Amino acid sequence: MKQGPGTTAANEQNTTNKQVELNPQTKSDLQNEIVGINKWLQSTNTHVKFTLHEDLNEYYVQVINDQTNEVIREIPSKKMMDMVAKMHEMIGLLVDEKR
């Protein structure tokens, strides 16, 4: 059976939307990688911080200036994640509403 371009994109999107459950070994490896990234970033006077978005239960990365402790960049932005969480809440209100 021949797959069209839309099928491939749908499969890729399903793969990226899956959340990965981290086991303790993977968490340890991730911490080691974060330490390595921060060592590499020392010359730029920045470091990265992984933060859990409570409403979405997903992580986002903050790039922080070491001297001013200012957040330089968020990936994805917390503001965008807040909007997604609010949309989920609003959709839930519409769907869960009893008539």
For the segment 54-85, what is each residue's pLDDT rounded down to a tens digit?
A: 888 888 999 999 999 999 999 999 999 999 99
pLDDT in tens, 4-52: 454 444 444 444 444 556 565 677 887 888 888 888 888 888 888 888 8
Rounded CA-CA distance 46/69 in Å is 9
CB 35 within 8 A of CB 45: no
Q: What angle do CA 63, 69, 74 make, to 5 degrees?
A: 25
